[in-house]
Amino acid sequence: MRTSFLLLVALFLALPAVAQKKKEKDKTPDFKAFWTNFQAQVKAQDKKKLADLCEFELYYIIKSKSVTVPDEKIEITRNKFLKEQFELLFNTMVRKNIGTTKAENVGEDMQDKLKRVAVIACTNKAGKPARRRFFFEIDKDMYQLVMVDEEQL
């Protein structure tokens, strides 16, 4: 009888923890819907709607091919993005290729669904082939673009 009672108490105490985990899981935003919307805004070149999907200040890092030359780090603010830096991040090649790209999980165990990365083939400022990675994380209960980096191929 005492064992049954203790089992019942343990079960009663465990239920709120299970319910809380389910609630937290349900709060995770749907990345597929976010990614579809993000791609559409890039293709439409809607700077204002796209800016709402970004966490400012964000950084655009151009990786150097040389160990003696440091990476170039460009700070992007909302104001600069709306006025002049949209094309820097989302040039013609990125807009063309974004619809063919899937965003993948990224994290230490590659199972972290709170962080995503999309790799898009593009061209750099000099017109040479490059790879641009767009990093997304959950912030304020929604996914947002938090960083972009580029590497010449």
| Residue that wins the pLDDT comparison between 89 and 11 | 89
Instruction: Name the pLDDT band for 6 (thresholds 50, 70, 90).
Output: very low
Query: Which domains occur in the chain, in start order?
Result: 30-152 (3.10.450.50)
Q: What pLDDT is recorded for position 78?
A: 96
133 has a pLDDT exceeding 50? yes
The answer to whether 117 touches 106, Cβ cutoff 8 Å, is yes
| Spatial distance between the Cα atoms of 84 and 133, rounded to a whole number of angstroms | 20
Classify residue 121 as left (phi > 0), alpha (psi -120 to 50) or beta.
Answer: beta
Which residues, in sequence order, are CB contacts of 151 under 8 Å at separation 6+? 63, 130, 131, 133
pLDDT in tens, 23-67: 444 567 888 889 999 999 999 999 999 999 999 999 999 998 888
Average pLDDT, the chain: 80
Q: What pLDDT is recorded for position 148?
A: 92
Instruction: Name the pLDDT band for 103 (thresholds 50, 70, 90).
Output: confident
